[in-house]
Amino acid sequence: MELVSLVILEGVTKQVTLPDESTLDILRGVDLAVSAGDHVAIVGRSGSGKSTLLNILGLLDLPTSGTAEFRGTPVAGIRRGRLDRMRGRDVGFVFQQFHLLAGRTALENVEMPLGYASGKQFWRRRELASAMLDRVGLAHRLDAPPERLSGGEQQRVAIARALVRRPALILADEPTGALDVETGAAVMALLDDIATESAAALVTITHDLHVAARARRHLRLADGVLSPVELDRAFADTALGAVSA
């Protein structure tokens, strides 16, 4: 069965102007297609532009040049309001820092994205949030605020919040970076399972070889250039070793 492309980047560049009015090239001619059901891992040194690339994939930023398409529509031609609605509906973000709202329960945190939904999703928001927390194993922690949750539990709440609207594209930026190895492995297994269930595309930025190995495609971003790599011992030594240095 032919995969349906969700996001296509062609010749994408990103430049920023520095205080001395010189320009810094962050991305240099990036080509990338991400399809429904795809799982891609992107690695690279700190400062290599991985988060910038993720922001463009997630409709948070526009390229300086080149084209970005989301479901066949050029992103540059989409009005801001519609772009915001598309992002809220179709893209789920999972970050290393959980960004949960203190003083709000786990249920209230997960329910928040559904406040911007319409129709049945809006009216059933508490039911849907509760079901997603149950799916990530936290049905017994609905009323717990973040400060009463462990790091692994907080990350599972963040995953539930990102996925409660069943997005087509899941973007995970160092999702296990703040967790111990065992908890991180459990979180990634959960993320994989939920993405597979909904046929969502999953793009993971990571420094962790074990996390990267879960993906079906492995890419490296270096000096603003994105290229495929084989996840073998040599790659681990030259790519991920350099990242961790």
What's the token pair of residue 31? 């080509």
CA dist 110 and 203 (Å) reads 21
Does 2 have pLDDT greater than 60? no
> Where do runs of H (alpha helix) occur along the chain?
50-57, 80-90, 106-111, 119-123, 125-135, 151-163, 181-197, 209-213, 233-235, 241-244
pLDDT in tens, 156-166: 999 999 989 88
The CATH number assigned to the domain holding 130 equals: 3.40.50.300
pLDDT in tens, 114-129: 877 778 888 888 999 9
pLDDT in tens, 159-216: 999 989 889 999 999 888 888 888 888 888 888 888 888 889 999 998 777 888 889 9
CA dist 74 and 56 (Å) reads 12
| Host domain of residue 123 | 5-244
Which residue type, as a one-letter code, is found at position 215? A
Please enumerate in sequence order all residues whose Cβ is within 8 A of that of 144, keeping only pairs 6 or more positions apart, or say none: 105, 106, 153
* Closest by Cα among 87, 89, 80 to 119: 89
Domains of the chain: total? 1
Beta bridge partners of 12: 30
